[in-house]
Structure 1
Amino acid sequence: MSQRSDKIEKDVNASTANRLLVICVDRDNDVGEKAGIVTPVVGRDACIEAAQRLALEDPEDADSNSIFSAIKTYEDLVSKGYQVEVVTIAGVKDRGVQADEKILSETRKVLERFSANGAVIVSDGEDDESVIPVIQNVLFSSKSCDESK
């Protein structure tokens, strides 16, 4: 067993989160701009299709590899017994506040369909990772609303 697999297994055993959302973030919306894909993309097969279309349009774009990495993470977590959904969300070409607002909106939309109590963020770099606090805020406020029901 690989070290990564061991780590995932330890995390599963130590975690209280059992409904996870694997989120691939494309803050500058290459998936939409280059491949014409409307986000959020929800589900394993839809994410595979999006990654393939983006890779065919621009083989050098790192976002397609990020989507495939999110799918791999999804499959690893499913094999460990988690209830998991994988999604690709995107901002806008110019990034900035508008991108963050779109990512916030898409995350909320996904959480309406799949109520998660944890998330794994996958991205191709620091710019995409800057939205992690935005996603955490939505996830925790969603979780708080679920607990108050």
Structure 2
Amino acid sequence: MEQFSSTRAKQSFGELLKAAALGPVAIERHGKVQAIVAAPGYFTGVSAAQDEQASRRLARANQSVVEKDRLIRHQRIALDLVTLPADERDRMIEQALAVVQRWRQERLCSSDYIERWSALLKLPAVALAMAMVSDADGWGPALRQNSPWVGVHA
């Protein structure tokens, strides 16, 4: 087991953490062990690399759930666009266009999103509905993340 004096541990904390990642480190004060520092994996049997991989897998899974929720929300909006009376549908689209216009005026997001949403919102309702839930052009998840449908099926 590697040993650090308390003074060295304070002055070289980064070095202490690196050593602890490899195994437990004893911290001594006045010649007596006062503490032992070890990485969490030492107690769980999971290495730091395995723990990091698991964290990444979990983050990807969580992001996938978020994207599925966004897709479902936009599917509901798309359904509204094709089933609501024309005046309600037009009001929805006008509100979305106003949001995109605000993005443009206040420079709230990338011009890529502004231009893509501007073009989509000019499409006929059925084409707009299909485009919103499609991933064919590779922009679906990004557009659903930066959506002008504020408060609709939130």
Q: Could you state the TM-score of these two structures normalised by the residue count of structure 2?
A: 0.30
Q: Could you state the TM-score of these two structures normalised by the residue count of structure 1?
A: 0.31
* Greater share of strand: 1
